[in-house]
Amino acid sequence: MELAEVDLTVRGRYHIRMRNAEGVEYNAVGVYREVDPPNRLSYTWQWQEKEHDVGETLVSVEFNDLGGSTEVVITHDLFPNAEAKAGHEQGWTSCLNRFEGLFA
């Protein structure tokens, strides 16, 4: 993660810049549709680079209190095809695995 600009309000915008191990840059931008702390976030997601862009998609994140721990449920919808969905699933899995490692 190289950059995270966030206006965490309904209709607020964000810009996230990531760079992978090979040096490829990825810029995700979008608008928050729902901000309901500490329960839920919903926001649009679109890649700025044409080679990665699959159109605007929708991410919803739910935070479920399990009494001593929190379950995080991410739903990413509106993909144009199975290939785009699979690629994003791989990306989310990688991010969540790294996130989990921070708390291990």
- The 10s digit of each residue's pLDDT in 2-37 is 999 999 999 999 999 998 889 999 999 999 999 999
Q: Which residues contact 14 (CB under 8 A, 6 or more apart)?
A: 4, 5, 6, 7, 8, 28, 29, 30, 31, 32, 43
The pTM assigned to this predicted structure is 0.88
Confidence at residue 8, expressed as pLDDT on a 0 to 100 scale: 98
Average pLDDT over residues 70-89: 93
Which superfamily does 3-102 belong to?
START domain (3.30.530.20)
Instruction: Report whether 27 contacts 11 (CB < 8 A).
Output: no
Confidence at residue 7, expressed as pLDDT on a 0 to 100 scale: 98
Instruction: Say yes or no to pLDDT of 45 above 90.
Output: yes
pLDDT in tens, 58-74: 999 999 999 998 899 99
